[in-house]
Amino acid sequence: MTPKVLCIVGTRPEAIKMAPVIKALQAEKNIDCRVLATAQHRGLLDQILQGFAITADLDLDTMRPNQSLAALTSRLLLGLDGVLQSEQPDVVLAQGDTTTVMSAALACFYLQIPFGHVEAGLRTGDLRNPFPEEANRVIAGKLTRWHFAPTQRAVDNLLREGVAASDIALTGNTVIDALLMTAAQDSALAIPLDPGKRLVLVTSHRRENFGEPLQNICQALKRLAERNPGIQILYPVHPNPNVKDIAHRLLGRTRNIILCAPLDYAPFIAAMKRSYLIISDSGGVQEEAPALGKPVLVLREATERPEAVDLGVVKLVGANRDNIVEQAQRLLDDPQAYQAMARGVSPYGDGKAAARIVDVLRQYFQACP
Ligand code: UD1
Ligand code: UDP
């Protein structure tokens, strides 16, 4: 019988980072690849799956407006349990640190289905930061059969936690596969921008920034826009009501700030390529921007992606209003400081991560009796 691999995706970044793996598995004639959407995100997930021409074979339709973590987790666990029992996959793969991934690892553990964790081994060492992602990946990591680690740092984190070296594969991050596949298309950004202005691209959605930190971030963006008429800020706003409401209330009426709906992946990459500077709390953006030679100011206190920080192309600025303004202003005013951060480096991968992951599974299935 052809072995069955079930790829589980729940949110936007999981769809982006699993797309290259799903494509590579679909190209294998000796593997039956099935895709399960938990739809922890609804619109954002559908947008990305459509962009990569991936159709989910199964859909749990989990998302509810302003969902709590406990309610989301319980819906996911019950839904996943049912699907895993009916599908009986030989292997399950999921990517990252969302509640979908933690629940998938746990549901597989209960049914003793081997679980492969894509983007394994990222750690800040602080369970509350980022919240709840650090806890999600630590829990998933305890229940994982194959740890597909994107960097040597991630491998070292896993070894330090006692994971056997034979259970870890250093693959690179599949986001670079997705980025290279997409950047090559050279998509247009359908938002009219002023060609005479430098573009500052912004994203923000982290739970630990909800409330006052996000207000500080928005105030910093407003101040930057008012002080610098020669820039244009483009902010595709995450649909989470905790983000959307504050962003529109505080930034909706500033002339050189454009708030827009989340962009499809290809236009978002076009926006990154067109940008001068990126300000973001996103994990994926921290990995993509260095490969495109774009400096990122990260709106977080800690990052599980220290490689680009060590290379000097990504800087943590937290959610302090004055600090954000000061650091961004420096990059706008000081060409040397800017150039030092605008070097194209790619510490997160070479675009072949998905092929390495599929190699590991192919070898496993060949060795199976
Ligand atoms: C989730 C992940 C986070 C990841 C982020 C990527 C968890 C706990 N959080 O955060 O790790 O970095 O996705 O974007 O796993 N919503 C919509 N439409 C959508 C998506 C979300 O309306 O397509 C709204 C809904 O009201 C939903 C809320 O956003 O309840 C929160 O979604 P949720 O997935 O729980 O958290 P995110 O903040 O998106
Ligand atoms: N992204 C996108 N459209 C947007 C904003 C982001 O396609 O409008 C992509 C971005 O390139 C990156 C991913 O979404 O690959 C990051 O998702 P998000 O910030 O939601 O999650 P995180 O990476 O922080 O978990």
Q: How many helices (H) and strands (E) in the chain?
A: 15, 13
Handedness of CA 257, 259, 260, 263 (dihedral sign): positive
What span, in angstroms and rounded, lies between the C-alpha atoms of 369 and 366?
Answer: 8
Residue 101's alpha-carbon distances to 18, 108, 246, 310, 352, in angstroms, are 12, 11, 28, 28, 22
Give the pLDDT band of residue 368 (cuts 50, 70, 90).
confident
- DSSP strand pairing (231-236 vs 198-203): parallel
The per-residue pLDDT for range 164-217, each reduced to its tens digit, is 999 999 999 999 999 999 988 888 898 999 999 999 999 999 999 999 999 999
State which of 42, 62, 98, 131 you would mutate to test the pocket of ligand 1, scoring each by most atoms of that ligand within 8 A of its C-beta.
98
Query: Is the distance from the beta carbon of residue 169 to the nearest atom of ligand 2 less than 6 Å?
Result: no
- Distance CA(332)–CA(279), nearest Å, equals 13
Q: Looking at domain 198-341, what is its CATH homologous superfamily?
A: Glycogen Phosphorylase B; (3.40.50.2000)
Q: For ligand 1, which residues put their CB under 6 angstroms from it? A: 11-13, 40-44, 63-67, 69, 72, 97-99, 132-133, 205, 207, 239-241
Mean pLDDT of the chain: 97
Mutate to test the pocket of ligand 1, among 63, 265, 281 (most ligand atoms within 8 A of CB): 63
> What are the boundaries of each domain within the chain?
4-172+352-367, 198-341
Domain 4-172+352-367 in this protein, CATH class: alpha beta
pLDDT at 104 over 90: yes
Residue 186: its pLDDT value, please?
83
Tell me the pLDDT tens digit for each residue of 11-60: 999 999 999 999 999 999 999 999 999 999 999 999 999 999 999 999 99
> Does the pLDDT value for residue 369 go beyond 80?
no
Averaged pLDDT for residues 130-148? 97
Q: Which long-range contacts (CB under 8 A, 24 or more apart) does 78-87 make?
A: 79/38, 80/8, 80/38, 80/104, 80/107, 81/107, 81/110, 81/111, 83/36, 83/58, 84/6, 84/108, 84/111, 84/113, 85/111, 87/4, 87/6, 87/34, 87/36, 87/58
For the segment 274-285, the average pLDDT, to the nearest whole number, is 98
Three-class secondary structure of residue 360 per DSSP: helix
Q: What percent of the chain has pLDDT over 90?
A: 97
Q: What is the pTM of this model?
A: 0.98
H or E stretch at 280: strand 277-280
Question: Do 4-172+352-367 and 198-341 come out as alike in CATH topology?
Answer: yes
